Structure 1
Amino acid sequence: MKKLAILAMGMASACLLPTAHAQSSVTLYGVIDNGIDYQSPNGAKATVRAVSGGLFASRFGLKGTEDIGGGLHVNFQLEDGFNGETGAAASATAAFNRQAWVGLSGHFGEVRLGLQNTPQYIFLNPELDPLAVQSIGSPMNSLNSLTVRETNAISYFTPTYYGLSAQFMVAMRDTTTKPSQGLQFYNAAVKYINGPFHIAAGYEQAGNATGTSLLKIFNAGTSMSFGAARVFLAYHNERQTDNSIKRDTYQLSGSYMLNPANMVVAMYAYEHDRTGQGNNAQQVGLTYEYLLSTRTTLYGAAGFIQNRSKAAFTLTGTNYAGVAVSPGANTRGVTLGIVHRF
C-alpha cells in the first residue's frame, strides 16, 4: 500500500511538471557589435580605433514571463552591457547596468518597475529615422540629447486601439540627487500606425542631479513607405531651463531595400541654435546594411558634420563617444562593423 501511494504521488508530480513548465519561460539573449571606426576632425590628427557598439550596444540578458492565469502575466528583464572588443563590463558597480525591472501585463496593457529603457528610446526613436537614432550615420544621434534609460522608474504601456498606442514613464529621485525625494524624470510618447503611414510624438523632462535645472525635450516624427522605400521627417526641440541649451533640429531621411538582404540609408539634418550665439550645425549620413543571416548583419556607416561658430558636435556611435573636435571645426568619419544577435 505504501509503495502504491508513492507511485501515485510520483505520477501526479510527473503530470504537473509539464504544466508548470509551460506556464513560465526564461530566455537568455544578447547582441555583440564590434567594428573599426575612423574619424578625422579638421585641425586634428585622424583617429582609427576598434569600437564596440557602432550600430547596437553590445549586451546580454535574461528575460522571462509567467502566466498566472486570467490573462495576466508577470514579466521581468535583467540586462548588462559590455565592450565586445575587450570583454570589459560597461559598469564596474552594477551587475545589470542596462535593465533590471519586473512588471505585470494583461488586457489593460503593461506596467514595469525598476531600471528600464525610456519610451523615447524603445517606442519613439524607431519612428524618427530608419536607424532608430543609432550609429554615426544618424544626425539625431550626434546632434541631440537622448535619455536612453532611467533608474527608479515606473512605466505604463497602453494596448493598441485602432493603430493608436502610448507609453508613459516617471522616475523617482534617490540619495544620489538633490533633493533626494520626489520625481526627477517624465517621458510620454504616443504613436499612430495606419498601414504604410506612421506618426509619433513625445515629451521628456529631466531634472539634473542638483535640482537646479530642467532639460525639456519634444520630438515628433512621421514616415511613409513607398514599396521598398520609406521616407522619414523628424523634428527635435530641446531647452535647458537655465538657458544653456536652446535648439531645434530638422531631419529628412530615407531607406531603400535593394533586396531582402541589402538596405541603404541616406540622412540629412540641420541643427539651429536658438541661444543667439550662432552655434548651428548640419550633418549628412549614409549607412549600408547587409544581412548575412537573420541574426548577423554587416554594416558600414559614414557621417560628415559641419559646425558653425562655437558648435563642437562630433560623430557619436550608438555606444561610444565621438572624437572631440575644436569649436567651429568640421568632422568626418566611417565605421565598419558586424552585429550578431543570439
Structure 2
Amino acid sequence: MKGMRLALTGVACLCGLNAAHAQSSVTLYGIIDNGIEYRNATGGNVLRAVSGGLFASRYGFKGSEDIGGGLRINFQLEQGFSGVTGAASNATAAFNRQAWVGLSGAFGEARFGLQNTPQYVFINPELDPVAVMSIGSPMNNFNSLTVRVNNAISYFTPTAYGLSAQFMVAMRDSTTTPTNGLQFYNAAVRYVNGPFRAAAGYEQAANAAGTSILKLFNAGASVGVGAARFYLAYHTERQTDESVKRDVYEASASYSFTPADQLSFMYGYAHDRLGQGNNAQQVGVTYSYSLSKRTTLYGSAGFIQNRNQARFTLNGTGYTGLAVAPGADARGAIVGMVHRF
C-alpha cells in the first residue's frame, strides 16, 4: 500500500511538472539574409557580397510564461550579425537588437529594456509595400529615424474597433549628457478596417551630447484592391540645431501574381526645407518570391537623383550604402535569399 502511495505521488509530481512546463516556453529563432549587390558609386562600379538586403540577419530567444489570471511574462533577446562573415553587428554587445522583459494581459502589454521603437514596429509596415526595407524603398533612404533604443519603457494597447496604439519613452544613462531623465519619446497609432489601413506617429530623440533634438512625424495610408495595394506616405523631420529640415513624400504600390510573390514599385521625393535646394528623388522596385514558408528569394533595385549638395545613397535594410559625392546620382541592384528558422 505504501508503495502504491509513493507511485501515485510520483505520478502527481510528474503531472505537476508537465503542467508547469506547459505554461512557459522558450523559442530559438533567426533570419539569415545574404545577397550579391551591384553598385554604381562615386569610386566606380562595385560588386560585393552583403548581408541584410531585405531583412537584417539576426538570431534570438523569446519566451513567455503564463502566471495565471490572464497574465503572461514575456522576454526577448536578439543579436544581429553578418551572414557573409559571421561577425556580430556590434561586438561589444551580447544582444544588440533587443533585450527586454515585459508583462501582457487584457490591459495590453508593457515592456522594459532595449527594444524596437513603435516607429519601426508599428508605422513602417504602413508606409510602403516593403515596410521601409531594401534599397528600393525611398523612405528607407531618405528618413532619419530611431529603430531601437536602450532603457526603454513601452506600452501597447489592446486593439479595439480596428484601432491600436504604442507608446514609448527611454531613459538617459551614463553614455548621455545629462546622465538622467528622459531622452526619447515615441507614440504611434494604427487603424485597420477591411482593405483600408492607416497609421501615424511622432518621435522626439535627443542626441547623446544633449545639444540637439530630432523631431519627426510619419503618416501612411493604404487600400487593397484585389491582388493590389496602393500606398501614400509622408515623413517630416527637424533637427533643432537646424542641420536637418526635410519633408519626404512617397507613392507606391504592390501586386501579387500568386499568393507566394509580391512586386512593388515605389517613388519618393525628399524636399530640403532649409532652402538650400538639396533635394532628391528616387524610383525603386522590389520583387520577392517565397519558395516555402521559411525561404524567400528577392531582387531589388533603386535609382536616386541627388541635387546640389544632397548625397543620399541606397541603404540596405541591414547595412549602410556606399558614399556618393554631393549632387551625384546613386544606382544599384541586389539579388538575395532570406531563410527564417
Coarse TM-score class (shorter-chain normalised):
over 0.9
Q: Distance in 1 between matches of 2:34 and 2:95?
A: 21
Secondary structure, in 3 states, of the residue corresponding to 1:181? coil
Q: Distance in 1 between matches of 2:158 and 2:9?
A: 43
- Which residue does the alignment assign to 1:198? 197
Letter of the 1:122 counterpart: V
- Which residue does the alignment assign to 1:24? 24
Q: Distance in 2 between matches of 1:52 and 1:65?
A: 30
Q: Distance in 2 between matches of 1:83 and 1:44?
A: 24
Q: Distance in 1 between matches of 2:135 and 2:71?
A: 41
Q: Distance in 1 between matches of 2:7 and 2:221?
A: 64
- Which residue does the alignment assign to 2:252? 253
How many Å apart are 1:206 and its aligned residue?
0.3
Q: Distance in 2 between matches of 1:91 and 1:281?
A: 31
- Which residue does the alignment assign to 1:237? 236
How many Å apart are 1:262 and its aligned residue?
2.0
Q: Distance in 2 between matches of 1:95 and 1:5?
A: 49
Secondary structure, in 3 states, of the residue corresponding to 2:159? coil
Q: Are 2:211 and 1:212 aligned?
A: yes
Letter of the 1:40 counterpart: N
Q: Distance in 2 between matches of 1:65 and 1:185?
A: 27
Q: Are 2:270 and 1:271 aligned?
A: yes
In structure 2, stretches of 5+ residues that fail to align are none
Q: Distance in 2 between matches of 1:291 and 1:218?
A: 33
How many Å apart are 1:152 and its aligned residue?
0.2
- Which residue does the alignment assign to 1:33? 33
How many Å apart are 1:9 and its aligned residue?
2.7
- Which residue does the alignment assign to 2:102? 103
Q: Distance in 1 between matches of 2:211 and 2:124?
A: 28
Using the aligned pairs only, state the percent identity. Answer: 70
Q: Distance in 2 between matches of 1:250 and 1:139?
A: 9
Q: Are 2:63 and 1:64 aligned?
A: yes
How many Å apart are 1:3 and its aligned residue?
4.1
TM-score (norm 2): 0.98
How many Å apart are 1:10 and its aligned residue?
1.1
Letter of the 1:128 counterpart: L
TM-score (norm 1): 0.98
Matching of residues 309-328 of structure 1 within 5 Å: 309-328=308-327
Letter of the 1:224 counterpart: V
Letter of the 1:299 counterpart: Y
How many residue pairs were aligned? 341
Q: Distance in 2 between matches of 1:286 and 1:91?
A: 30
* Moved beyond 6 Å, runs of 4+: none
- Which residue does the alignment assign to 1:129? 128
How many Å apart are 1:274 and its aligned residue?
0.4
Q: Distance in 1 between matches of 2:199 and 2:73?
A: 28
Letter of the 2:227 counterpart: A
Q: Distance in 2 between matches of 1:325 and 1:94?
A: 30
Secondary structure, in 3 states, of the residue corresponding to 2:256? strand
Matching of residues 165-180 of structure 1 within 5 Å: 165-180=164-179
- Which residue does the alignment assign to 1:147? 146
How many Å apart are 1:2 and its aligned residue?
5.7
Letter of the 1:311 counterpart: A
Letter of the 1:160 counterpart: T
